[in-house]
Structure 1
């Protein structure tokens, strides 16, 4: 069964490229462009990894990560989260750790690094 990735990012370019790259490697990937629907999606479906933009319409990725970690379903609360952001300088390494983020990558994305990060957790 294909490993499942949830990609939460409002960039159509990142959505399209990520889907092509991960589907080409046998992953199932679902893209979401609004921060408001991330928690609902995580509650309803199981994912092996979440790729989460820090700045999303309607939500702050750091807060979303904390809310995912606070879910009652232990499996869902422990899913690896890889944050992606162009504004990482606004945060310290400890901020990402405190939010429960396993790893973070800087935009513009290095897709080799993103694939390697996902593979590290699945």
Structure 2
């Protein structure tokens, strides 16, 4: 893979961030991390990304609200970015509910190495 894809990860858990970074680096993906939804929006304003992994439960600005704000951006490239929800409470949502919130897909915590890579590759290949 000569053109390294950039992934923005909105996640407040350092453990999940480190695990995600090590998984994604094996596939030569670049990763930037934000600890809350406000930081996700600030980073998205300054840089372009190919995909966003978004935790639902973050301080300051939660993942669902942040995703809705991204979907309403005037920059069409950024508003249409694939956004994958990361949640430990997947049982609380159906896929239709995730889509209504603006997510393209979801990954259950604890993170499964193969599922994470397969889901990311589905949107970036």
Tell me the TM-score normalised to structure 1 length: 0.94
Give the CA RMSD over aligned residues. 1.1
State the secondary structure of the residue aligned to 2:77.
helix
Unaligned runs of 5+ in 2: none
**Cα distance in 2 between the residues matched to 1:42 and 1:95:** 24
Cα shift readout 1:31-75 (whole Å, capped 9, x = no counterpart): 111222111111211111100000011112111111111100000
Report the alpha carbon displacement of residue 106 of structure 1 after superposing the two structures with TM: 1.1
Q: Which residue of 1 aligns with 2:49?
A: 47
How many equivalent pairs are there? 122
**Cα distance in 1 between the residues matched to 2:14 and 2:88:** 15
State the secondary structure of the residue aligned to 2:86.
strand
Tell me the TM-score normalised to structure 2 length: 0.92
**Cα distance in 2 between the residues matched to 1:93 and 1:106:** 12
Q: Which residue of 1 aligns with 2:13?
A: 11
Cα shift readout 1:83-112 (whole Å, capped 9, x = no counterpart): 010122332322211121000111111121
Q: Which residue of 2 aligns with 1:74?
A: 76
4+ residue segments displaced more than 4 Å: none
Unaligned runs of 5+ in 1: none
**Cα distance in 2 between the residues matched to 1:60 and 1:11:** 13
Q: Does the 8 Å CA contact 2:17/2:33 hold for their aligned counterparts? A: yes
